[in-house]
């Protein structure tokens, strides 16, 4: 189940980037589960990784290899290669070496990524056997196949494509992501792969990605769980005719805005596909002292099982939202200054239920698939938005049966 229209978009080709998929039969044999992304020589590559202390073996290897001029990304679904100890590290390095042998490259030029069940050995032999097929079908227009190959409990493939024009020349930006559960990015709790043909240095690309991730993937939550595995990668092939993008320039602003757009669209798609989700909620916190305070309040509301189950039931039980705001750790909060809204309907004002609020008005909003909860703290000018979804019976069922 997903919230809203979730069809895969038309994806433009990104010069210098090709993608190939194959079925290794890691957990299922219905669709491809191995993806190889190849980038042109002289490409730059940036990445952010999960901050979970038990981060998976491929995360460790990818962090090291990121400094060696990556040319290939190797992704598998169905097995996380996390919680696998030293053998997991050996398996991640071995997979990189296997791909390097097929493409006549260096193992250190491969960034590995895995997603799936934690604690099981990576089936290295199956992945190795599938690599020739993945390489043989490398193509610039395989974005849909690539998005499907990285899915686990996702119900739809997620992609975004955007073309920008700078000085009469174009830059293309494509992104795909996977994620539906174990979503509470502490960067990053999903897999995201974004590619562009821009010419840009690795350092500037890294800064651009970090800023975009903070305002997109780090503003979503499905269940409050931070994964062991996941990452967001931004690769730039340098094949565009637009001159190299430099810091503090107008082209950089245009490019950075486009990267932000792609990241926000991919992040929203993940929430729309939250496991068992029936509603998308935008938690907007206004008039906070700082951005950090606004995010903390927003995530406290978004993480609350009581709030999420009320939304699943379409129950305007606004007391649960009020309680979440109250325990968000806002120091010296003046309760009389706080206002709460469901869309345009004010439910709390002057420290209690708004005099003009009616249950019927609240119910009308709660019956919608997409709802905005606005919290006005009356303390400052900071504004932040957090995206989340409801918590349904299906979420429990999906995760109870995840390994079966």
Decide which of 272, 293, 324 is a domain's last residue. 272
Distance, in Å, from the CA atom of 384 to the CA atom of 365, rounded to the nearest integer, reads 22
Asked whether residue 131 is assigned to any structural domain, the reply reads yes
Least confident of 92-96, 115-119, 255-259, 328-332: 115-119
Give residue 165's pLDDT: 98
| 56 and 100 co-located in one domain | yes
For the stretch 77-98, pLDDT in tens is: 999 999 999 999 999 999 999 9
d(Cα 106, Cα 231) in Å, to the nearest integer?
Answer: 22
Given 189, 196, 226, 278, the catalytic residue: 189
- Both 382 and 263 in one domain: the answer is no
One domain, residues 160 and 260: yes
253 and 333 together in one domain:
no
What residues make up the domain containing 93? 17-272
Q: What DSSP line would sit under 276-320, residue for residue? A: T---EEEEEEEEESSHHHHHHHHHHHHH-HHHHHHHHTT---HHH
**The last residue of a domain, from among 210, 238, 272:** 272
pLDDT digits (tens, 9 = 90+) for 141-163: 999 999 999 998 788 999 999 99
Q: Which of 255, 272, 289 is the last residue of a domain?
A: 272
CATH number at residue 295: 3.10.20.340
Higher pLDDT, 223 or 392: 392
Q: How many CA atoms lie within 13 A of 222 on its CB side?
A: 30
Q: What is the dihedral sign for C-alpha 149, 154, 155, 158?
A: negative
381 shares its domain with 335: yes
Summarize pLDDT for 168-184 with one digit per residue, the tens.
Answer: 999 999 999 987 655 55
Considering its fold, how many domains does the chain have in total? 2
Answer whether 114's CB lies under 8 Å from 80's CB: yes
Q: Treating both helix axes as pointing N-terminal to C-terminal, what angle do 202-214 and 250-272 enclose, rounded to 10 degrees?
A: 40
The 10s digit of each residue's pLDDT in 123-141 is 999 999 999 999 999 999 9
Q: Are residues 225 and 366 in the same domain?
A: no
Q: Are 46 and 200 in contact (CB under 8 A)?
A: no
Instruction: Based on the fold, state whether residues 68 and 185 are members of the same structural domain.
Output: yes
Q: In terms of domains, do 259 and 285 share one? A: no
Average pLDDT along the chain: 92
257 and 321 assigned to the same domain: no
Contact 328, 340 (CB under 8 A): no
Q: Is 29 a catalytic residue?
A: no
pLDDT at 396 over 80: no
Average pLDDT over residues 36-64: 92
Count CA within 13 A, CB hemisphere, residue 376: 15
Q: Does 260 lie in the same domain as 338? A: no
pTM here is 0.91
């Amino acid at each position: 189940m997903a919230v809203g229209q979730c069809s895969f978009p038309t994806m433009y080709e990104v010069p210098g980037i090709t993608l190939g998929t194959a079925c290794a039969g890691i957990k299922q044999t219905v669709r491809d589960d191995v993806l190889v992304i190849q980038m042109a020589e002289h490409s730059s590559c940036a990445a952010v990784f999960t901050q979970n202390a038990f981060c998976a073996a491929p995360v460790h290897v990818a962090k090291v290899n990121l400094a060696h001029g990556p040319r290939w990304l190797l992704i598998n679904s169905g097995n996380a290669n996390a919680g696998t100890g030293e053998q997991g590290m050996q398996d991640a390095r071995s997979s990189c070496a296997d791909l390097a042998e097929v493409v006549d490259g260096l193992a250190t030029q491969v960034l590995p990524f895995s997603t799936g069940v934690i604690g099981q050995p990576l089936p290295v032999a199956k992945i190795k056997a599938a690599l020739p097929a993945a390489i043989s079908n490398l193509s610039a227009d395989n974005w849909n196949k690539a998005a499907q190959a990285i899915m686990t409990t996702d119900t739809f493939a997620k992609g975004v494509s955007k073309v920008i024009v700078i000085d009469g020349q174009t830059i293309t930006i494509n992104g795909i992501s996977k994620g539906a559960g174990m979503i509470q990015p502490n960067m990053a709790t999903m897999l995201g792969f974004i590619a562009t043909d821009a010419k840009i240095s690795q350092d500037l690309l890294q800064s651009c990605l970090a800023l975009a991730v903070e305002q997109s993937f780090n503003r979503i939550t499905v269940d409050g769980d931070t994964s062991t595995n996941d990452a967001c990668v931004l690769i730039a092939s340098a094949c565009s005719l637009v001159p190299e993008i430099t810091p503090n320039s107008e082209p950089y602003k245009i490019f950075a805005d486009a990267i932000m757009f792609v990241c926000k669209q991919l992040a929203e798609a993940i929430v729309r596909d939250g496991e068992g989700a029936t509603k998308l909620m935008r938690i907007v916190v206004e008039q906070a002292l700082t951005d950090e305070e606004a995010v903390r309040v927003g995530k406290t509301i978004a993480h609350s099982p009581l709030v999420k189950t009320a939304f699943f039931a379409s129950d305007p039980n606004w007391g649960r939202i009020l309680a979440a705001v109250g325990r968000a750790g806002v120091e010296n909060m003046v309760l009389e200054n706080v206002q709460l809204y469901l869309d345009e309907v004010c439910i709390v004002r002057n420290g209690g239920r708004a005099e003009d609020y009616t249950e019927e008005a609240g119910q009308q909003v709660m019956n919608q698939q997409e709802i905005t909860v606005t919290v006005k703290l009356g303390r400052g000018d900071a504004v932040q938005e957090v995206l989340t979804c409801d918590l349904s019976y299906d979420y429990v069922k999906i995760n109870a049966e995840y390994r079966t």
